Structure 1
Amino acid sequence: MGTVTVFDESERPIWAGRAQAYADTFARLCAHPVPLLLDAAAVADGARVLDVGTGTGAAAAAACARGAKVTAVDAEPSMVRLAERSVPEADVRLAALPDLPFADGEFDAVVANFVLNHVGRPRATVAELRRVTRVGGRLALTIWAAPPGAGQTLIGRAMQAAGVTRPDHLPSLDSHEDFPRTTDGLTGLLRAGGLREVRCELLTWEHRATAEEWWAGPASGVACIGHLLTSQTPHVIAEAKRQYDLLSGEFAGPDGMLSLPHAALLAHGRVE
């Protein structure tokens, strides 16, 4: 089905070898919607569940705790190794969207937590997730919303203040593949992919972290923003950190912890 896009070719090296750095920083943030995600997919005891883009295995572990029979995949080998260690009861494999090594209708439920943000062909991805879900089964996924929460823009604001701009060699999603990161936009994407009874909701929450923890993710090269930061000169990185220290005070409470507003979309539907 799939052809690797320029976006995919750019995205995958960004995550290469970053599993532990991600686990130590952004993983806790991304695990926040997992209980709601599993509820939306009707994950229960005995269900055959596929967790796509498992990362550190948070959704896979939570599904196993519900008594589900869990298969988990990720495109990044270091994530697969980490998830194998952290969720030994799951069958963890290396696989990249939009091509999954499973039969049609193999799973009762498929979940994809913040995966659609990282694929070059989101429409083909939804079609593939639908393909491996049985008739009557459910698919649920999350993506980051637009506009983003104020906490999501903090590091980007600091980098912009330091003069960092997105380089030309870092591709964006092709316009014909893109879709609005809104409830209507994600609902339309799932309906176009053949899902029925589609529902989408906006999730908002405040992620609490120390200033050091929140900076550590990009400073370790995690995600696109981390790749961009660590590719700068030491002088620019130091200036971005100085700006970050100034701006992060907007989110600091009396205990010194940051309360960082985030916004995501949770969508789910049934396969017919």
Structure 2
Amino acid sequence: MRTAFDEAERRAWAGQADAYAASFAKLCAYPVPALLDAAGVREGVRVLDVGTGTGSAAAVACGRGALVTAVDAEPGMVARAAPAAPEADVRLAALPRLPFADDAFDAVIGNFVLNHVGRPREALRELRRVARPGGRMAVTIWAVPAAAGQALLGRAVQAAGVARPAHLPALAPEDDFARTEQGLAVLLGEAGLTDVVCDTLTWDHQTTLEEWWSGPAAGVATIGQIVTSQGPLVIAEIRSQFEALCAEFSGPGGALLLPHAALLAHGRA
């Protein structure tokens, strides 16, 4: 059963595949090699990529010779992922109910998908259900507190005096969890995984001011929903604050170097 958070996520991502591809997709693709390594993805392995987005992980898994199935809840993402990973079976499907039999895959991956589900524990149990006994599962989420680069847009919103709109629900307290190495590892253990390991990945994401602004300006993700729910004058003030804060992250040739941190957890079904 979908929660209010799930429904808000569906609305927020509807029609946003192109804007996501032009803004945040490159950032979210960074952990893919480590994620696939953690899940033991190699030639001949049956892999399920849940929340594939634009297909970054599915494409790399296909390049390793894996037998890849990829799903996403947003039709626009499926439309972009299918040509990005033409050897994969790309379908429309969403957590917490996946259209696959028990024990169907050797490896199951979810790159940042847990950030977008209303009941993370239920989602992990479903990922565990479709992994064969002894198979591997690996997931990523954003770490909390956020790294400086990840916090940039939120700081601009806050500096403009904008609060999170009431129509954007947060996770229910009983469904939330600590976005730390220990917190995510415990969550995987509760889902029935063994040999659980969780590490922190850190990197500097290189982008530009205009590229980084294009995501929220188009309404991509929660930050985009916050920005686009404001009037033109407030949006202009957020943009002004964003431009001022970007000076902290300026790199050579006008690039922005934005420090990010994600958690990568994996275990055995």
Residues 163-184 of structure 1 deviation map (CA, whole Å, 9 limit, x = unaligned): 2110122111011111000000
For residues 14-163 of structure 1, the aligned pairs below 5 Å read 14-163=12-161
Give the Å deviation of 1:101.
0.3
Tell me the residue number matched to 2:253. Answer: 255
Q: How many residues of Structure 1 are paired with residues of Structure 2 in the alignment?
A: 269
The gaps in structure 1 that reach 5 residues or longer are: none
The gaps in structure 2 that reach 5 residues or longer are: none
**In 2: Cα distance, 1:106 partner to 1:30 partner:** 26
Tell me the residue number matched to 1:238. Answer: 236
AA partner of residue 122 (structure 2):
A
Give the Å deviation of 1:56.
0.2
Give the Å deviation of 1:234.
0.5
Tell me the residue number matched to 1:192. Answer: 190
AA partner of residue 212 (structure 1):
E
**In 2: Cα distance, 1:162 partner to 1:147 partner:** 21
**In 1: Cα distance, 2:105 partner to 2:84 partner:** 22
**In 1: Cα distance, 2:36 partner to 2:93 partner:** 21
Partner secondary structure for residue 145 of structure 2: coil
**In 1: Cα distance, 2:108 partner to 2:70 partner:** 10
* The 10-residue stretch of structure 1 (152-161 or 115-124) with the greater mean CA deviation from structure 2: 152-161
Give the Å deviation of 1:255.
2.1
For residues 165-184 of structure 1, the aligned pairs below 5 Å read 165-184=163-182
Give the Å deviation of 1:35.
0.1
What is the CA RMSD across the aligned residues, in angstroms? 0.7
Residues 224-265 of structure 1 deviation map (CA, whole Å, 9 limit, x = unaligned): 110110111010111111111111000002422111000100
TM-score by length of 2: 0.99
**In 2: Cα distance, 1:191 partner to 1:87 partner:** 31
**In 1: Cα distance, 2:233 partner to 2:63 partner:** 47
Partner secondary structure for residue 175 of structure 1: coil
* The 10-residue stretch of structure 1 (163-172 or 28-37) with the greater mean CA deviation from structure 2: 163-172
**In 2: Cα distance, 1:144 partner to 1:25 partner:** 17
**In 1: Cα distance, 2:92 partner to 2:143 partner:** 27
**In 2: Cα distance, 1:247 partner to 1:219 partner:** 17
Residues 185-228 of structure 1 deviation map (CA, whole Å, 9 limit, x = unaligned): 00000001000000000111100111111111111111011011
TM-score by length of 1: 0.98
Partner secondary structure for residue 227 of structure 1: helix
AA partner of residue 81 (structure 1):
A
**In 1: Cα distance, 2:251 partner to 2:67 partner:** 42
Runs of 4+ in 1 over 4 A off after TM superposition: none
